[in-house]
């Protein structure tokens, strides 16, 4: 059975941003954001965009999350 210290060290290795956030909280007494989002300007075929917007609207989907998912999948591909 692992000790609390072992579990804490594993957690810090796996998610260092959480430890940094706790340090920041100790310093400022404010919790920083974990996930920062950026706006993206792209050029997309008007017909495809319109159809995609309709699809997302009908199915209650978030367009940004879907695009982000495809970007992650593309980055993980092995060529």
Q: What is the pLDDT of residues 27-71, one digit of tens each?
A: 898 877 766 778 889 999 999 999 999 999 999 999 999 999 999
- Main-chain dihedrals φ then ψ at residue 28, nearest 5 degrees: -110, -15
> Are residues 27 and 53 located together in one domain of the fold?
no
Q: Which has more confidence, 35 or 8?
A: 8
Round to whole Å and give the CA distance between 13 and 7: 10
Residue 64 lies in a domain: yes
> Are residues 57 and 31 located together in one domain of the fold?
no
What is the domain range of residue 1? 1-35
pTM of the model: 0.53
Q: If pLDDT is split at 50, 70 and 90, which confidence band does 1 have?
A: low
DSSP string, 43-66: ---HHHHHHHHHHHHHHT--HHHH
- DSSP annotation of 33 reads P
Total domains present in the chain: 2
Q: Give the model's pLDDT for residue 34.
A: 65
Cβ 34 vs Cβ 17: under 8 Å: yes
> Are residues 31 and 51 located together in one domain of the fold?
no
Cβ 18 vs Cβ 11: under 8 Å: yes
Residue 2 lies in a domain: yes
């Amino acid at each position: 059975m692992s000790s609390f210290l072992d579990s804490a060290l594993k957690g810090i290795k796996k998610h260092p941003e959480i430890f940094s956030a706790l340090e920041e909280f100790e310093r400022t007494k404010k919790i920083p954001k974990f996930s920062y989002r950026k706006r993206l300007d792209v050029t997309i075929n008007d017909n495809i965009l319109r159809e995609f917007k309709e699809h997302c609207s009908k199915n209650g989907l978030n367009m940004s999350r879907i695009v982000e998912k495809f970007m992650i999948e593309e980055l993980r591909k092995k060529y």
